[in-house]
Amino acid sequence: MIRLTAVSSALILSASVAGAQQGTESSRVHEVRTGDTLWDLANQYLGNPFRWPEIYSINRPQVLDPDLIFPRETILIPGGGPQTVGVASAPPAAIPERTVFFSGESPQPQQQGMTIRTTQAIQVAAVSTGTFYRAGVLMPDSLFRALGKLVSVISPTVVARNTDPQIQPFDRVNVALREDVRLGDRVQFVRPAHLIEPYGRVFLPSGGGIIRGVEGRTATIEVDQFYDRVAPGDFVVAMPVLPQTMSTGRSAYSPTGLVIGFSDDQPIVSTGDMGFVNLGSSSGVSQGDELVAYIPAAEREWGREPEVVVARLQVVRSDPEVSTIRVIALEQPALQAGMPVRPVARGQ
């Protein structure tokens, strides 16, 4: 957890602005290990823990919450501090001249009053490891396959307790198995949420762990990742596989789809919220792709009302028919289910 004092708040804010303006030409890469915090990384690489906002600034939107960084995430470290042996340099990402969705040269006007939409070069941020693993999935109940269910926490004590103990990092829990598992397998804890008809139910990850023991139909799991509160009653599923590379050779095209719902059943959608669109890998959409949700152009009694871009979305998980997206920019407070979407940039 980041350690902060009220006295230094103004200094930290000014440091954050300065760090954001420095760029990433001399940035380095740090792979997050268990126990790392931005406070500690700033102390290690920059020589001053109060410079943590500089690291946070250049890692947004991959790091949504500065208190939450996850093992195996890749964090950029800005230049300007002492170097550390063994830390690789990260070259600045090249900005493509065209996105893959741009087909052909710039359109030429065919007639007076024709609408021209240009495609700007966009640098697409990579989907962070933590974002991928805490992304919910939407599927029919009939396709949901649980390896087992968390039934208890291993926490023997002679002290009387009124409530079950809260699960902490590296606690061990008992899971009643429904399927065979192996020692060393990585698993994820999920809990069912609301339905989005006709696509299925939202399943939200709460954490992850590794199987440390199996005895009969009971497995012992060490919990080492948290996206929410892990608790008895959570289901256990196989850990999803994080794609290591984006698919290549995909031709230019522009599929259109719809926003079909959100991970949290709430009336107002904010930046950072997760949701779902009905464009999946079968439509050519992959992890890292960016979409826009928009209000289509419409003919009014006074003339043609132009299209309005409402939000920018990034695909964090792509299943065959449905993709999980994260809201990375909200242009208008009007994002809702049923709104059309289209791709604007490919993931790197």
The mean pLDDT value for 204-214 works out to 93
Report how far Cα 143 is from the mean position of its chain's Cα atoms: 23
Q: Which residue's structure tokens are 């640098």? A: 123
The mean pLDDT value for 232-245 works out to 84
Q: For 82-208, where are the alpha helices, taking DSSP H only?
A: 129-133
The pLDDT assigned to 33 comes to 81
Where residue 49 falls among pLDDT bands split at 50, 70, 90? confident
Smallest CA-to-CA distance from 175 within 187, 164, 184 is with 187
Q: What are the two backbone dihedrals, phi and then psi, of residue 19, each rounded to the nearest 5 degrees?
A: -65, -35
Q: Structural domains in the chain?
A: 6-77 (3.10.350), 131-157+165-238 (2.40.10), 257-345 (2.40.10.410)
The pLDDT assigned to 120 comes to 43
The pTM assigned to this predicted structure is: 0.61
Cβ-contact 241, 188 below 8 angstroms: no
Q: What is the pLDDT of residues 96-136, one digit of tens each?
A: 433 444 333 334 444 444 433 433 444 556 777 788 888 99
The mean pLDDT value for 168-183 works out to 93
The pLDDT assigned to 44 comes to 85
Cβ contacts of residue 154 below 8 Å, gap of 6+?
Answer: 171, 172, 173, 174, 220
% the chain with pLDDT above 70: 74
Q: Mean pLDDT in the chain?
A: 77
Q: What is the pLDDT of residues 261-318, one digit of tens each?
A: 999 877 788 888 999 999 998 888 888 889 999 999 899 898 898 889 999 999 999 9
% the chain with pLDDT above 90: 37
The mean pLDDT value for 215-238 works out to 93
The pLDDT assigned to 7 comes to 40
pLDDT > 60? residue 1: no
